[in-house]
Structure 1
Amino acid sequence: MSKIAIIGSGFIGRAWAITFARAGFDVALADQAADAPEAALAYIEGVLPALADSDLLNGASPDAVRARLSAAPSYAAALDGAVHAQENAPEVLDVKLALFAELDRLAAPSTVLASSTSALLPSAFSAALKGRERVCVCHPINPPYLIPAVEVVPAPWTSADTMTRAAALMRAAGQSPIVMKRELDGFVMNRMQGALLEEAFRMVAEGYASVEDIDVGIREGLALRWSFMGPFETIDLNAPGGVADYVARYQQIYERISPSQWHRVDWAGDVLETVLAERRQRLPEDQLGARQVWRDRRLMALAAHKRKAAQDIGA
């Protein structure tokens, strides 16, 4: 099986390592902090049994997946023989510029250099590279071993071959690539999430609904469909004649709503006190860590359910 280099072994890097190793790839983790790869491997060893319990290791044992993972002593060692490098450094442009210059120098010409960035356009850190045509973004929702969507984003000079190879590798790793035609600030997922959050903060700030009521509306309402259908398929199935019928019936509702959405509130303004107070009443700060573990176990259960439902009912 092909080798993957994980460049940056922190929160995102270790999650990518699980994703690729579970799919059968050999994975080498490297980091500028010498102890980071070993720390990532220790974390992964603690997660693998829970994934096995949820049948999320593709039939492999935790030991078999762990055997595909190794700590590399340098970026050069991690990149040696790698078909794909997944970079996970901090969201700081100067850091990305320096790191991608080093990766471009060290990696074989055929190695795809992909960034996990959620906030920087690929053109911002690849313009001056000799091998800039093999650079793209592969941005996950964390953790990718539980959430398969990943945005594959080109710079203006990224080659079609790079995009094809990156998307194919993501599919081979069990991910669901969103292959963008050109770069756009926020990509797809943060733009969609941002639109929802803008409306959520606005409704709380202006006194229309509580934080919890808005959360109920998503988790007990819209998200139930969105967990296995996107917005376009949702409306295609929500009118007898499909999407054109839906537009004919309901566009005027959204046209009427739209003008009231043309302003924004400052998330860090007075509304933040309201959001914090309501969230801390429901979840004290010292329980955040435990609730994050709960979230990941629920995601494991949902991933296992979706996989079984796709087999039994159809995707």
Structure 2
Amino acid sequence: MATQQSEQTTELKGDKIAIIGSGQIGGSWAMLFASAGYQVALYDVIPDRVTRTLEALLEKLHGLSRGGLLRGTLGVEEQWGRIRGVQDLGECVTGAIWVQECVPEDKDIKQQVLTQVDQHCSLDTTVASSSSSLLPSDLSRNLKHKGNFLVVHPTNPPFYSRAVELVPAPWTAPETMTRAQDLMKAIGQSPITLKTEIPGFVLNRMQFAIMAESYRLVKGGFLSPDGVNKALSAGLGRRYAFNGPFQTAHLNAEGFGSYCERYGDMIFRVQQSFGAPEQMGGALAEHIEGEMVKEVPLDSLEKARRTREAKLAALGKLKADLDSVKL
């Protein structure tokens, strides 16, 4: 793999990856696996959606190519040619080493789809759900091959954000977790492996904590919605793009122990002022919506998403280049 993955030439692989659901997440997964040379079968209960997704992926690949941001060394047509649409779920899953389920975040729908997938899996097929909140134990408890199941939750959009959470059910086999880690690294992602399942996993627990305090700051009249966005994008976000919270604390003092000694009392005092979580909605949510619409009108959301993706791709390339620098 090259460009954002490594300097090695991307090898064409005979292994098949099955993706169930061709929305934004499923399409992004398809691009990721194809960029690493895998054969990808893409299925959706609405066949026309697969056709539209394939057309959109080709356009995205051309855009990435123009910016020098393709992942891997395969060209646009070669990557796109690794992805094929299929109209039957059984055909999609049969023979696959990995199944990535990407249907809507509804437990009943996911359970129904996973039950169908289970019927066509081999003994060594890994089945991963892209769920962002549903516990893997709730999704897989009735599957025949539940030892091969885990949640693989990407950061949205997956192709442009490397972090991916690997969340086991209590019965997920250790070798399943190992295979998942190895495959995610092989396609250029950065796996975050949880030891046990927990509601919201890790990324969303952190994200929701930030969202809760952001909402309180606006509600209390301390800051505008734009101010909250700037505090993250121009402040904490830039710092955390390279160093997480513990490493940031470690560098901001003479080690993490020193940080706790210096700032532990202050941090605890401020944390005690945090309010309890509250449901977002009503007039305040409408106010925040109005402020966001001034920046990005609703009819410009898709354009803004494409801009975000281009920036994330460029940042990913920059980080890969910087990570290779030895101090």
TM value normalised by structure 2: 0.92
Cα shift readout 1:148-203 (whole Å, capped 9, x = no counterpart): 10000011111111111111111111110111000000000000000100000000
Residue 80 (structure 1) aligns with = 94
Residue 238 (structure 2) aligns with = 224
Contact 1:235 1:246 in 2 (8 A): yes
**More deviation, 262-271/229-238:** 262-271
Name the aligned partner's letter for residue 25 of structure 1: Y
Match of 2:104 among 86, 90, 105: 90
Contact 1:9 1:37 in 2 (8 A): yes
C-alpha distance in 2, partners of 1:37/1:274? 37
Cα shift readout 1:128-154 (whole Å, capped 9, x = no counterpart): 111111110000012211101000001
**Is 1:234 aligned to residue 253 of structure 2?**
no
- Tell me the CA shift for residue 303 of structure 1: 1.4
TM value normalised by structure 1: 0.96
C-alpha distance in 1, partners of 2:317/2:303? 21
Match of 1:124 among 116, 138, 156: 138
Contact 2:33 2:40 in 1 (8 A): yes
- Check 1:283–1:9 CA distance in 2 against 1; reply closer, same or farther (3 A cut): closer
**More deviation, 39-48/258-267:** 258-267
**More deviation, 285-294/139-148:** 285-294
Structure 1 runs of 4+ with >4 Å offset:
none
- Tell me the CA shift for residue 305 of structure 1: 1.3
Name the aligned partner's letter for residue 102 of structure 1: Q
Contact 2:69 2:313 in 1 (8 A): no
Residue 50 (structure 1) aligns with = 63
- Tell me the CA shift for residue 248 of structure 1: 0.6
- Check 1:269–1:254 CA distance in 2 against 1; reply closer, same or farther (3 A cut): farther
C-alpha distance in 2, partners of 1:263/1:80? 48
Q: SS where residue 70 of structure 2 aligns?
A: coil
Q: SS where residue 156 of structure 2 aligns?
A: coil
How many residues are treated as equivalent by the alignment?
Answer: 313
Q: SS where residue 237 of structure 1 aligns?
A: helix
Contact 2:93 2:121 in 1 (8 A): yes
Residue 4 (structure 2) aligns with = none
Name the aligned partner's letter for residue 262 of structure 1: G
Residue 200 (structure 2) aligns with = 186
**Is 1:267 aligned to residue 280 of structure 2?**
yes
Q: Which runs of 5 or more structure 1 residues have no equivalent in the other structure?
A: none
Match of 1:4 among 17, 20, 25: 17
Contact 1:15 1:142 in 2 (8 A): no
**Is 1:251 aligned to residue 251 of structure 2?**
no
Residue 137 (structure 1) aligns with = 151
- Tell me the CA shift for residue 273 of structure 1: 2.5
Contact 1:5 1:78 in 2 (8 A): yes
Cα shift readout 1:69-127 (whole Å, capped 9, x = no counterpart): 11123122112221100000111111111111111111111100100000211111211
Name the aligned partner's letter for residue 270 of structure 2: I
- Check 1:151–1:265 CA distance in 2 against 1; reply closer, same or farther (3 A cut): same
Contact 2:69 2:314 in 1 (8 A): no
Contact 2:160 2:313 in 1 (8 A): yes
Q: Which runs of 5 or more structure 2 residues have no equivalent in the other structure?
A: 1-12
Q: Which residues in structure 2 correspond to 1:90-169 (within 5 Å)?
A: 90-169=104-183
Match of 2:218 among 198, 204, 213: 204
- Tell me the CA shift for residue 313 of structure 1: 4.8
C-alpha distance in 2, partners of 1:203/1:231? 21
- Tell me the CA shift for residue 31 of structure 1: 1.4
**More deviation, 280-289/178-187:** 280-289
- Tell me the CA shift for residue 312 of structure 1: 3.4
Name the aligned partner's letter for residue 61 of structure 1: G
Match of 1:177 among 191, 195, 208: 191
Contact 1:115 1:137 in 2 (8 A): yes
Q: SS where residue 272 of structure 2 aligns?
A: helix
C-alpha distance in 2, partners of 1:69/1:227? 31
Name the aligned partner's letter for residue 17 of structure 1: A
C-alpha distance in 1, partners of 2:103/2:216? 33
Name the aligned partner's letter for residue 106 of structure 1: H
- Tell me the CA shift for residue 243 of structure 1: 0.5
CA RMSD after TM alignment: 1.4
Q: SS where residue 32 of structure 1 aligns?
A: coil
Match of 1:306 among 319, 322, 326: 319
C-alpha distance in 1, partners of 2:83/2:52? 13
C-alpha distance in 1, partners of 2:260/2:149? 39
